[in-house]
Structure 1
Amino acid sequence: MTEKFEFTATCPKGLENVLASELRQIGANVLREQPAAVRFDGDLAMAYRVNLWSRIANRVLLNLGQARIEDAEALYRAVAEQPWEEHISPNGVLWVQFSGTNREIRNSQFGAQKAKDAIVDRLRKATGARPDVDKRDPDLSVMLRLHRDVLEIAIDLSGDSLHRRGYRTHIGAAPLKENLAAALLMRAGWPQIAAEGGALLDPMCGSGTFLVEAALMAADVAPGLLREGFGFERWLNHQSDIWLSLREEALQRRNESSANLLPEIRGYDADAKVLFAAESNIARAGLEKQVRVSCRPVAAFKVPSHRPVTAGLVITNPPYGERLGEQEALRETYAELGGQLKKEFAGWKAAIFTGNPELCHSTGLRSHKQYKLFNGSIPSQLLLFDIHAQSGERSQEGGARLSEEAQMVANRLQKNLRTTGKWAQRSGVSCYRLYDADLPEYSAAIDIYQSLEGEHFAHIQEYRAPANIPEQKARGRLMDLVRATRQVLDLAPRNVSIKERRRHSHKDSGSQYQKRGEESRTFFADEYGAKLEINLWDYLDTGLFLDHRPVRQYLRKLAKGKRLLNLFCYTGTATVQAAMGGCSESTSVDLSKTYQAWGQRNFRENGMDPYRHQLVEADCLQWLQAAQANRKGHYDVIFLDPPTFSNSAKMQGVLDIQRDHGELIRQCMALLSKDGVLLFSNNLRSFKMDEAVQSEFAVENLSAKLLDKDFQRNPKIHNVWEVRAR
């Protein structure tokens, strides 16, 4: 029976789902995605195949095991338990890489040294000899990662990073790594376009990375064929017969595809010197007969005329600050690109990858999808465009002329995009409130959400109309607001969630939000590096209270190295932020099964240890009362965010926050350590802090401090108080 192993394929941050999809296409069984990596299992042949065929991965690691460690001696023992004599000859060359720290192992260099000692001592004891240690051309590279006291031990089967294919010896001023270029091509739909015979053009091709990667995909060439070697080739367990068979298969596929005519793949650049680098790289990849480059400015960019080309993909990585200094010159370059696309490329797809998305406004094009990624350390975006849609008629929904009233709303939304929208972009905020009844007759809140994949959504919540406004008129105003939102934000109907307040009789339990029949679905959004699940359709709330964003950020700083209690935890987003900030352990309590399950998904998506971060399904009032007996002084930070009023059938009593907050605060304070802090929040606009509480404890009102720009129109949106012992 073929032995099965577990592997980790690493990749640039933000490309995990692209890599997972590619691994499945290669035939791997994907286990899970994690930050900058994907775990999969299979036999040794599968590891070889991924090394040979993956266009996205950086490395393929063989996972040997993991252990919970707290100090250096535990690290030594965990590493020494591995049978290293089965992996490297005692006369070989070893290299150990270590990442991560904990309370005792505070330096990665120290961790690497301790692990190296364990491996060398094990080999000396088993064989009587010890290997040399050198990072240059080692026979075995050992990768160790310490995260939250868990040590993962692995062997690097790739050797040099897989993005180094071997063809690129000449690079431009701001080159894309090969695997990033390949991922961008996949995001832009190039494999399907190529299969349909579409062309690929890059008007600012630089050293030609897009061109080569696109040609390798279209020609079915394994990127690993261009490399000189792999790390596994000097590993003691290497199965050369399996590897040679897989390599021969890849060579045969390349030879078979070479007989087929590739789609048109051409690059242009105004810099003749950089084209020399592109030509050299193309030749080293063996593609000089299929891929051509020409010296041409963006202003002269057009569809090639020497070969019939009707449609395809224009993809480019224009300068965004590193190569050209003046912003005005850059705007002119982007404007020229947009002008040529609209003039010459109707019916084509376009993709622009830039570290300065603001400049893309100068193209005059509106992207239908955006992806947040990194070019090295530079935060960047891939923006996708449909040139036909931009140069021809817009959709009926987006292109219909707005009424005078709806245009008034649209004007306000555009104004808010220029202020609040730009603030959100500068602040790294991907989910924010754009509009909050700015125009009284259009009484609703509009929140913008952006998924991890860069897709935008609008969440429109109608406020209760005054009793003297006819139902039909109120509904008409809501529809005006929806039309204006869709047009200004250029959103498809399925990307807009509308929650209406409809009037009901008393027996219908009063006004409530009604679903409008949109497709129910969820997505994950980013908040300061945390991945949080959003559902805009199924419930009154979305899973993320946007007004509490600065509260969560403050809690993240407050809870570093501390023990946290989160009462009425909802979907656990505050606990996630605390954990991301280094919270040592947490307890999150909520009565709702739905929110508990939601919280578990948030915890799991962010890699939180379930033993250190516990979710408790319980009535918070009962749990808090019971905790007085056995948890006094246990917590360093408590976040108390109760509802204004609750009489849930599952609760024994009725909660009225104005009436009951004093007792709740006292019970929480009893659970705090000596220097602990309680963060108390509620959304009762008429709330007043109990004077007895203020005299008994040190109380500070943080409401004004913890209010972001997108909620400053409504400063009474919530109350936040910090409470400490006197």
Structure 2
Amino acid sequence: MTDSHIEEFKFTATCPKGLENLLAQELLTLGAEVQREQPAAVQFSGSLALAYRCCLWSRLANRIMLQVDQVRIGGADELYRAVAAQPWEQHIGPSGKLWLHFSGTNREIRNSQFGAQKAKDAIVDRLRAKTGARPSIDKHHPDLTVALRLNRDRLDIAIDLSGESLHKRGYRTQIGAAPLKENLAAALLLRARWPQIAAEGGALLDPMCGSGTILIEAAMIAADIAPGLFRESFGFERWLNHQNDIWNELREEALQRRTAGLGRGLPEIRGYDADARVLFAAEANIARAGLERFVRVSCRPVAAFKVPSHREVKPGLVLTNPPYGERLGEQEALRETYAEMGRQLKAEFSGWQVGIFTGNPELGYSTGLRSHKHYQLYNGTIPSQLLLFQVLQRSERDQALGKERKLSAEVEMVANRLRKNLRTTGKWANRNGVDCYRLYDADLPEYSAAVDLYRALDGTLFAHLQEYRPPASIDEAKARNRLRDLLRAVQFVLDLPRANISIKERRRHSHKGGQQGGGQYQKQAEAGTTLRVKEYGAEFEVDLWSYLDTGLFLDHRPVRKHLREIASGKKFLNLFCYTASATVQAALGGSVQSTSVDMSRTYQSWAARNFRANSMDPYKHQLVEADCLQWLTSAQQNRRGYYDLIFLDPPSFSNSAKMHGVLDIQRDHAKLIRQCMVLLASGGTLVFSNNLRSFKMDGNVLEKFSVKSLQLLDKDFQRNPKVHNVWEIRAIEN
């Protein structure tokens, strides 16, 4: 190897799902050149010293891996040759101890254990040929750990520099019944702005502290203590290319920073729990971390949770990971515990920030507080949320309550329906990781509108309120009043500032032929105000203010998911693609190539931004600005049998000035379907969708092709099963 002080290497840092963005920010502060975020991992580059620093200082990573190679493989023989081609004799001595992690499968290697065995054979055979000796296999104390990840036909070969997962700091030998991993606890603290609060002298309290992980991680952050400082070892220490002088310098620097940080003193950090037995574990863990002078725990039930009175305590952060119960009976019993915590917070913690991390967000809202931010995370494999609240100063709270008491009976009726929907649809969305969904859809006929919720990437909640056209029999002034009532109910129930609510109001016009163009909706904000949201791991741009629609049709969420599930290895065509969200999902599902056609330059630019946000290759995924009707006609010659999967989702009616002619989906769908079927490869699938409620499939289509109706509606749209129609259409096998 060359001078490791200056040589650039490629690395991958792995982390719990949902922490990728936080980890990327942390790696940047440590000096890394971040290349890419991917599910549960961040790729970066830098020196070997940087990798050591990341192992020592990362509060969020699970592992730091040095990338050795990335190759394309098919079957087992190619796997063997690719692994055997690496210079393993440069990484482990003849009598060394080896361990190997293998994850993933492809069409030919269908078992990760088989892949691991084949890769191990390749390494052992290479070392025997080069050195005359073979390494022993040792899972617990290896000199070299090799990590291989197979994703379809791409094999990533890396050396694990971490050893045991980096979340294992070394201080926790005693744990409670439901332990929170150390790096997840650190992530909660970072999301709740603990570094800033601590720097201002604010306290940290945990009313249900368990074995004390949140408290210890908070103290380590406040005192500038490297999370890996007291680990027994790292994987790189027995690696043949380990640079011990670099490591010793970094460790000495960390020791000095710890001494300086503790010398400055820490704010109040205190935990409570009603179970005295678990506090013995907390005290043992705190002592092993060397923080017994700075972190205290006491036995106290939630009903007695108060600000410590033994000294002046500056308002800060209450952060806790309470139990949430997996069985209905447990949940009902815990509801009162959460409600009691809410009462204590309101009574005793005026002006404090609060974070509740739970696998059951409905329980979190039982506190009676309303979160201003929400982060989707995972506690192991359990989808969970960090709910952030601010306890208002008493004067602010009294003023808010005064306003709420003035709600009319009509508004209270709408508010009650919104609360009910939050308990049902909201719970479903949280459980399934859905950040954008319909909360209300004209549930009360006199309040004829839809309310959609959009959770931005930073956790901020927005509401999109869209009025349905009132019938001519309804007085326009009355309709306006009802819309205002609905707006007030949304504000109170969701505790949203007015700036976070977009209203689109349908106006009645006197001219014949209905409304024209963008006048149908009145803008509520300047054009270009956009949010970034996630859907099943894909990132999309939405605009709640500037256009008729937001850029993401929420009713098509399960359609996009279905396309993603069947797109692997296929060439995909998306006609009338809008902002190409379906193409993004197909690409993330493994589509090898795609074409997305729409005549709107605005939507094509929007789609390009969605592609960039999801790191899609523009050479493989092509955007075409064209009239779909004309494009289909010309494609009959040069794209016959080209696509494996086509998504056809035309408007019900269009007479755009850019089009040659008028599109009427009831009249024209049979021709469109026939043209699409010409473009399908043998065995291909056409997914046809439209939103015309009176639509009937042409009989000739039903006779000529295999047509299967799909029931693709999520819970938030099941009140109106006619919101859209979806079919899978295939050629009839001879």
State the TM-score, normalizing by the size of structure 1.
Answer: 0.91
C-alpha distance in 2 between matches for 1:252 and 1:697: 74
Query: Which residue pairs with 2:727 in the alignment?
Result: 721
CA contact (8 A) 2:361 2:427 kept: no
Give the C-alpha shift of residue 472 in structure 1.
5.8
Deviations 1:66-89 (A, max 9, x none): 122222333333333333232222
Specify which of 594, 617, 625 is matched with residue 633 of structure 2. 625
**Cα distance in structure 2, aligned partners of 1:537 and 1:121:** 63
Cα deviation for residue 420 of structure 1 reads 3.7
Q: Which amino acid aligns with 1:222?
A: A
1:172 deviation in Å?
0.8
Is the alpha carbon distance of 1:398 and 1:81 closer, same or farther for their aligned partners in structure 2, counting shifts above 3 Å? farther
Supply the AA of the counterpart residue of 1:551. Answer: V
Structure 1 residues 274 and 65, CA gap change in structure 2 (3 angstroms): same
Farther off after superposition, 226-235 or 521-530: 521-530
Q: Once the 2 structures are TM-superposed, how far is the Cα of residue 419 of structure 1 from its aligned partner?
A: 4.4
Partner of 1:287: 291
**Kept in 1: contact 2:362–2:427 (CA 8 A):** no
Equivalent AA in structure 2 for residue 91 of structure 1:
S
Residues in 2 aligned to 1:330 and 1:243: alpha-carbon distance in whole angstroms: 48
With over 3 angstroms needed to count, the CA separation of the structure-2 counterparts of 1:701 and 1:379, relative to structure 1, is closer
Q: Counterparts in 2 of 1:141-290, with a 5 A limit?
A: 141-290=145-294
1:41 Cα deviation after fit: 1.8
Match status 1:381 vs 2:385: yes
Task: Give SS of 2:296's match.
Answer: strand
- Native 8 Å contact 1:158 1:232 kept in 2: yes
Q: Partner amino acid for 1:174?
A: A
How far apart are residue 526 of structure 1 and its match?
3.9
Q: Report the CA distance between 1:130 and its aligned residue.
A: 3.2
Partner amino acid for 1:622?
Answer: Q
Residue of 567, 576, 595 corresponding to 1:568: 576
Aligned to 1:488: 493
Q: Could you tell me which amino acid in structure 1 is paired with residue 88 of structure 2?
A: W
Matches of residues 340-419 of structure 1 in structure 2 within 5 Å? Answer: 340-388=344-392, 392-393=397-398, 399=404, 401-419=406-424
Cα distance in 2 for partners of 1:458, 1:358 equals 19
Q: 1:644 aligns with which of 652, 665, 669?
A: 652
CA distance in 1, matches of 2:204, 2:596: 52
Say if 2:441 is the partner of 1:436.
yes
Match of 1:462 in 2: 467
The residue matched to 1:670 in structure 2 has which SS? Answer: helix
Q: Structure 1's 376 and 426: CA in aligned 2 closer, same or farther, altered over 3 A? A: closer
**1:125–1:490 CA distance, 2 compared to 1 (3 A):** same
Q: CA deviation at 1:663?
A: 1.0
Contact 1:90/1:123 (<8 A) preserved: yes
User: In the alignment, which residue of structure 2 is the partner of 1:95?
Assistant: 99
Distance in structure 2 (CA, Å) of the matches to 1:291 and 1:426 = 34
Residue 409 of structure 1: how far off its partner (Å): 3.4
**Residue 536 of structure 1: CA displacement?**
2.1
Q: CA deviation at 1:473?
A: 5.6
Partner of 1:327: 331
Letter of the 1:541 counterpart: D
Counterpart residue number, 1:710 = 716
Query: How has the CA–CA distance of structure 1 residues 480 and 658 changed in structure 2, closer, same or farther, with 3 Å as cutoff?
Result: same
Which residue is equivalent to 1:69? Answer: 73
Q: 1:685 aligns with which of 693, 697, 705?
A: 693
**Cα pair 1:682 1:718 within 8 Å, conserved:** yes
Q: Distance in 2 between matches of 1:598 and 1:98?
A: 39
Corresponding position: 1:303 with 2:307:
yes
Q: Distance in 2 between matches of 1:397 and 1:234?
A: 66
1:131 and 1:615 mapped to 2: Cα distance?
A: 52
Secondary structure of the 2:323 match is coil
Query: Which of 527, 536, 539 matches 2:544?
Result: 536
Deviation at 1:720, TM superposition (A): 2.3
> Shift in Å at residue 582 of structure 1?
5.5
Q: Give the Å deviation of 1:452.
A: 4.5
Unpaired runs of 5+ residues, structure 2, are: none
- Match of 2:398, SS state, is coil
**Contact 2:525/2:546 (<8 A) preserved:** no
What is residue 10 of structure 1 aligned with on the other side?
A: 14
Q: Do the aligned partners of 1:503 and 1:510 also contact (CA within 8 Å) in 2?
A: no
Q: How many Å separate the matches in 2 of 1:669 and 1:466?
A: 41
Match of 1:500 in 2: 505
Distance in 1 (alpha carbons) for counterparts of 2:238 and 2:723 = 63
Quick check: 1:72–1:111 contact (8 Å CA) kept in 2? yes
- Equivalent residue, structure 1, for 2:676: 668
Deviates more, 1:497-506 or 1:272-281: 497-506
Q: 1:653 deviation in Å?
A: 4.6
> CA offsets, 1:624-674, max 9 Å, x none?
233333444444432211122334454445433223211111111223344
CA distance in 2, matches of 1:159, 1:701: 52
Aligned-partner SS, 1:184? helix
What's the offset of the Cα at 1:54? 0.9
Alpha-carbon separation, structure 2, partners of 1:258 and 1:307: 19
Q: Is the 8 A contact 2:555 2:714 kept in 1?
A: yes
Shift of 1:691: 2.8
- Computed over aligned residues only, the root mean square deviation of the Cα atoms, in angstroms, reads 3.0
Q: Counterpart of 1:450 in structure 2: which amino acid?
A: R
Between the aligned partners of 1:283 and 1:307, the Cα distance in structure 2 is: 23
2:564, 2:152 → 1: CA distance?
17
Q: Give SS of 1:223's match.
A: coil
Q: Is the 8 A contact 1:372 1:453 kept in 2?
A: no
Report the TM-score when normalising by structure 2: 0.91
CA contact (8 A) 1:397 1:483 kept: no
The amino acid across from 2:653 in the alignment is F
| 2:106 match: secondary structure | coil
1:521-564 Cα offsets, whole Å, 9 max, x none, are 44443434444443323332222211222333444455566554
C-alpha distance in 1 between matches for 2:427 and 2:285? 40
Which residue pairs with 1:133 in the alignment?
Answer: 137
Query: In the alignment, residue 426 of structure 2 is paired with which amino acid?
Result: G
Deviates more, 1:19-28 or 1:712-721: 712-721
Which residue does 1:447 correspond to in 2?
Answer: 452
| Shift in CA distance, 397/84, structure 1 to aligned 2, threshold 3 Å | farther
Aligned pairs, how many? 724
Judging changes above 3 Å, is the alpha-carbon distance between structure 1 residues 405 and 339 closer, same or farther for their aligned structure 2 residues?
Answer: closer
Task: Calculate percent identity across the aligned residue pairs.
Answer: 72
Residues 1:446 and 1:389: Cα distance change in structure 2 (over 3 Å): farther
Q: CA deviation at 1:308?
A: 1.0
Letter aligned with residue 549 of structure 1: R
CA drift of 1:600 comes to: 4.5
Q: Deviations over 1:555-590 (max 9, x none)?
A: 445556655433222233333444555656544333
Q: Following the alignment from structure 1 to structure 2, what is the Cα–Cα distance between the partners of residues 67 and 648? A: 48
Q: 2:693 is aligned with what amino acid?
A: R
Of the structure 1 ranges 240-249 and 11-20, higher mean CA displacement relative to structure 2 is found in 240-249
Q: 1:558/1:85 Cα in 2 relative to 1: closer, same or farther (>3 Å)?
A: closer
After superposition, residues 504-583 of structure 1 pair within 5 angstroms as: 511-517=519-525, 520-559=528-567, 563-579=571-587
CA shift digits 1:403-448 (9 cap, x unpaired): 4554443344334334443444455543222223344554432112
Whole-Å separation in 1 of the counterparts to 2:421 and 2:260: 56
- Whether the 8 Å contact between 2:707 and 2:727 is mirrored in structure 1 is yes
Cα gap change, 1:714/1:270 in structure 2, threshold over 3 Å: closer, same or farther? closer
C-alpha distance in structure 2 between counterparts of 1:416 and 1:498, whole Å: 20
